[in-house]
Amino acid sequence: GNSVTQMEGPVTLSEEAFLTINCTYTATGYPSLFWYVQYPGEGLQLLLKATKADDKGSNKGFEATYRKETTSFHLEKGSVQVSDSAVYFCAFHNQAGTALIFGKGTTLSVSS
Amino acid sequence: EAGVAQSPRYKIIEKRQSVAFWCNPISGHATLYWYQQILGQGPKLLIQFQNNGVVDDSQLPKDRFSAERLKGVDSTLKIQPAKLEDSAVYLCASSLVERDSGELFFGEGSRLTVL
């Protein structure tokens, strides 16, 4: 069935370190892929997205590339900041207008 | 543009009591979703509406949960009677079907604690 697998957290990094959060998915057809972020005390908000194979989504220094051959959508950032501390969720849906399927989330903690 | 509004933000009840959550989606968004997010887990879909019709309620525990979206705008999610395992954040989201990506916009959630 449809599912998302994210790397287990928490991930603890020092400021300016390189970040990778792995995400793989199991889906039918050609899903659209998303990363959502949940800052402490706030709601889920879209971080970036990619709608077709080889697309790269980017926002706020974060990037993720839609890899259909490996069914992956890993999140990366070259230099994290303390303000990036949050929970990151990988998600997808098989077509617009359908519900998103989420991974369990990965908690990132960045210290100065 | 106003975001998705939810209330109440927090609710504490005892088991077997009832509770209701309200959601007002972004204006013009035809699709509305209710998700349940248990601590340490990702959001799980409870029910999806398209206008005022139900699209998917396959994961809604219908013996205790109910939801409605009268007039295709606001929605209410009710739990009666509540169980301890219903403690979670209830998230409402909305989307424009016409958008290619189908991005969902989320409210801040309603945190339920069942004692």
Please report the number of interchain residue pairs, chain A to chain B, with beta-carbon separation below 8 angstroms. Answer: 63
List, edge to edge, every strand of the sheet that includes B5-7: B5-7, B19-24, B75-79, B65-68
From A97's Cα to the closest Cα of chain B, the distance in A is 5
Query: How do B75-79 and B53-56 pair as beta strands?
Result: unpaired
Question: Does residue B99 register a pLDDT over 60?
Answer: no
Q: Is B7 on the interface with A (CB under 8 A)?
A: no
Q: Is a pLDDT exceeding 80 seen at residue B97?
A: no
Q: Which amino acid is at B81?
A: P
Chain A interface includes B25 (CB < 8 A): no
Backbone angles phi, psi at A43, to 5 degrees: -85, 170
If pLDDT is split at 50, 70 and 90, which confidence band does B98 have? Answer: low
The answer to whether the Cβ–Cβ distance between A4 and B31 falls below 8 Å is no
Identity (one letter) of the amino acid at A5?
A: T
What distance in Å separates the CA atoms of residue B80 and residue B67, rounded to the nearest whole number? Answer: 11
% of chain B with per-residue pLDDT over 90: 79
Sites in chain A below the pLDDT cut of 70: 96
Contact state of B41 with A105 under an 8 Å Cβ cutoff: yes
Q: What is the pLDDT of residue A95?
A: 74
Closest among B106, B105, B89 to B19, alpha carbons compared: B89
Q: Does B40 touch chain A (CB under 8 A)?
A: yes
How confident is the model at residue B1, as a pLDDT?
A: 65
Helix (H, G, I), strand (E, B) or coil at A105: coil
